């Protein structure tokens, strides 16, 4: 059962990463369309706003995937220096990350809820209901919180987190 949960969570993180990549492609498409519009003397109203929304969505949706693949900045040098206390240091770091990401996810959901309830719209030319881009931020922050909880629980009970090592970890500071 645990391996099924593990595969499901890894698949969810991967889906978040793929959707983030699609938002990056969307930014490219928006920029090209805006360039074409300028060349033909037209105005693509709201393109910079949409590019900003897409960038926020791409960032937040990729956080969990990036965390599990060792792409976030970690305190590896300090953790390597801890020696036999490394596991305790990692638990402390994951506990702080878990608390902060859970706190942020809670308020991201709350902000999205209130924006929807109050029918808040963006300040740009597009006049988009702001809860729509906030939804990607909320989903991404929830994925990050789940990923931190996942790694913290796994570290406590198995002694190893799920973050794949990166080149910096493998070099041991050499």
By mean pLDDT, which of 48-57, 66-75, 146-155 is the weakest? Answer: 66-75
Domains of the chain: which residue ranges?
2-171
C-alpha span between 47 and 117 (Å, rounded)? 26
- Residue 167's pLDDT is 46
pLDDT classification of 171: cutoffs 50, 70, 90? very low
Higher pLDDT, 93 or 167: 93
- Residues 6 or more apart whose Cβ sits within 8 Å of residue 49: 122, 124, 125, 126, 128
Mean pLDDT in residue range 56-62: 96
């Amino acid at each position: 059962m645990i391996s099924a949960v593990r595969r499901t969570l890894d698949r969810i993180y991967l889906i978040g990463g793929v959707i983030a990549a699609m938002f990056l492609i969307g930014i490219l498409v928006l920029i090209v369309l805006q360039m074409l519009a300028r060349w033909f003397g037209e105005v693509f109203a709201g393109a910079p706003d949409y590019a900003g929304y897409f960038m926020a969505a791409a960032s937040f949706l990729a956080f969990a995937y990036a965390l599990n693949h060792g792409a976030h900045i970690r305190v590896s040098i300090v953790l390597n220096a801890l020696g036999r206390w490394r596991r305790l240091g990692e638990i402390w770091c994951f506990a702080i990350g878990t608390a902060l990401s859970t706190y942020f996810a809670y308020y991201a959901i709350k902000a999205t809820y209130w924006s929807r309830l109050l029918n808040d719209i963006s300040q740009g030319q597009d006049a988009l209901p702001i809860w729509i881009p906030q939804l990607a931020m909320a989903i991404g922050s929830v994925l990050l919180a789940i990923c931190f909880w996942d790694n913290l629980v796994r570290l406590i009970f198995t002694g190893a987190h799920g973050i794949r090592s990166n080149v910096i970890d493998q070099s041991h500071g050499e």
